[in-house]
Amino acid sequence: MRDTIERIGLYFTASTPLADELNYARLAEKNGFNSIWQGESRTSRDSTISIAALATATKRIKLGTGVLHTWTRNVVTLATTFTTLDELTDGRACLGIGVLWEPMASKIGVVRRKPLQAMREHVTVLKKLFKGEEVFFQGEFVNVRGVRLERVPKNVPVYVGATGFKMMELAGEIADGVLLNYLVSHEYNRKAVEHISAGARRSGRKLEDIDRPQLLAVAYSGDLEKAYRKARLMVAEYLAMEPHIAIASGISEKITNEIRSVTGGWPTTAEKLAEAVNLVPDNLVSKLMAVGDMESCRKSI
């Protein structure tokens, strides 16, 4: 794959055992991978601690959060956390941030109010702090009065984890990069690039100035039916958990509603998910994922 893809990385979900992550990270670095992105769940894994652990197992590879949310982290605390990670990784840490999703937000007492404005304020202040500026900022969500980091990081690029097209335009305007989601269609990605480019133009930049790592889910097996079983399970769970992804990718509302009627939304049970798998057609799976044997997955990637 390295013959045809300029950069390739790993994405760890919040459920991957940390000991396994460390082993995979060593192997990825040995084989020339460019980056590792650590998923985060407010109920299973803190991405910043995971990044610190991965830093001890690697020397070269970039390490990013993919993504942590801003609602429960003070912006200055977040900046000092990544200044520390910058020091620990010798400039390899990347800050990927998002605005959380429903129903998780409401379950932990977060009101997702004006997420675009909240993201704009956080990214604006973070980038000023990372440059070593003394920051005075009074916003609707972020308020900082005369704060300067005592240690200026070497390099902490800020990536926005965006799903909606308005958030992508904002990311193109103000961020260093956009972390593009998985389980989305090619049509969705083409639209995403158009919106990122529009945002970049607003700040006098070009699309090429915005880094755009793309997450891609892969279900690999020499047994095609086994690969599709794994893939259908992942798609069913994701559509039950985050239906806005389905809407953005143009997946029929009928399929999404049928799956959610069986699972009851999120969280669900293994039994309900096993039933919902039967509602996921294979052509939908192949639209959203790389599925099959090694050669099939290579072509999809």
Rounded to whole angstroms, how far apart are CA atoms 27 and 14?
Answer: 19
pLDDT (0 to 100) of residue 95: 99
- Measured CA to CA in angstroms, residue 101 lies from 70, 98, 104, 224 at distances of 12, 9, 6, 33
Q: Beta-carbon neighbour count of residue 80 at 10 Å?
A: 16
Please state whether beta strands 135-138 and 143-147 pair in parallel, antiparallel, or not at all (unpaired): antiparallel
State the pLDDT at residue 42: 67
Residue 59 is classified by DSSP as S
Cα separation, 98 vs 160, in Å, equals: 6
Considering only CA atoms, which of 58, 66, 61, 56 is closest in space to residue 16?
66
Identify the pLDDT of residue 144: 98
The structural domains of the chain, with segments of one domain joined by +, span 9-209, 218-300
Written as tens digits, the pLDDT of the chain (301 aa) is: 344 457 899 999 888 899 999 999 999 999 999 999 999 976 778 999 999 999 999 999 999 999 999 998 999 999 999 999 999 999 999 999 999 877 777 777 888 899 999 999 999 999 999 999 999 999 999 999 999 999 999 999 999 999 999 999 999 999 999 999 999 999 999 999 999 999 999 999 999 999 999 999 999 999 999 999 999 999 998 888 877 777 777 788 889 999 999 998 778 899 999 999 999 999 999 999 999 999 999 888 8
Q: Which of 184, 194, 139, 179 is nearest to 36 (CA)?
A: 179
Which strand (E) or helix (H) includes residue 77?
helix 75-89
**Letter string b/e over residues 131-165, b meaning 16 or more CB atoms within 10 A of that residue's CB:** eeeebeeeeebbebeebebeeebeebbbbbbbbbb
- Annotate 16-55 with b (16+ C-beta within 10 A) or e (fewer): beeeebbebbeebbeeebbbbbbbbebeebebbebbbebb
Copy the structure tokens of residue 211.
């880094």
**Start-to-end Cα distance in the chain:** 9
Taking only Cα atoms into account, the Rg of the chain, rounded to an integer number of angstroms, comes to 19
Give the residue carrying structure tokens 């945002």: 199
The domain made up of 9-209 has a fold known as: TIM Barrel (3.20.20)
Residue type present at position 185: S
pLDDT at 245 (0 to 100): 74
Between CA 290 and CA 78 the distance in angstroms is 35
Query: Given this model, what pLDDT does residue 35 score?
Result: 98
- Quick one: pLDDT at residue 202? 98
**Concatenated DSSP letters for 127-184?**
HHHHTT--EEEE-SS-EEEEE--SS--S---EEEEE-SHHHHHHHHHH-SEEEE-SS-
Q: How far is CA 259 from CA 236, 240, 281, in A?
A: 7, 6, 12
